[in-house]
Amino acid sequence: MPETGSIVPVARVQQAILALRGCHVMLDEDLAALYSVKTKALVQAVKRNLDRFPEDFMFQLSAEEFANLRSQIVTSSSWGGRRYPPYAFTEQGVAMLSSVLHSKRAILVNIEIMRAFVRLRRILASHADLARKLAALEQKYDAQFKVVFDAIRQLTAPSEPKKKQPIGFHVKGRRAQYPTRKPK
């Protein structure tokens, strides 16, 4: 059923869901942006109610995970930006946020986020089902279809992140010599 009049774009919610430590999570700053509150206020509300957020609901990223995340999304490092690792909320942690944040927007945003997690689970289940069916077909047919099955596996396999190209100009060869001014 289509969601009309959604308070947040579905694509925005789906982009904010990340895979970390083997589970799907949303970071505190993405959640704060969706709830229209400051990240600091969201974290403070969570810390005031820490007993509601066990480790399977919320965890703070390690320094290594944070560094890897920063390199992927390019945050500032010297002036401004974030200097401490963010908190990651699992689906249950996001659901618990609605009991901590007391606003109409928080409730509506939570509904959209829960729908996004459900869609993600359905997609993952359909991929697993497709892989099982493919394996069954591969066992059923002989080697002449091996090429077809390999091609299908390549198409359905998750793509590896592309290596980033360096930014800027790279001069190959000798550098040009420019005249310098002589002091007067």
pLDDT tens digits, one per residue of 31-81: 888 888 888 888 888 899 888 888 888 998 888 888 777 666 555 444 456
Query: Rounded mean pLDDT of 4-31?
Result: 78
Asked if the model's pLDDT at residue 170 lies above 50, the reply is yes
CATH 3.10.260 is right for the domain spanning 10-124: yes
In the prediction, which pLDDT does 142 show? Answer: 62
pLDDT band at 11, cuts 50/70/90? confident
CA distances from 161 to 8, 30, 64 (A): 28, 22, 18
Asked if the model's pLDDT at residue 28 lies above 80, the reply is yes
- For the ranges 16-30, 67-81, 131-145, 158-172, which has the lowest average pLDDT? 67-81
Which segments within 62-174 are labelled E, that is strand? 87-89
In the prediction, which pLDDT does 77 show? Answer: 47
Which segments within the chain are labelled E, that is strand? 17-20, 23-27, 58-60, 87-89
Pairing of strands 58-60, 87-89: antiparallel
User: Domains of the chain: which residue ranges?
Assistant: 10-124
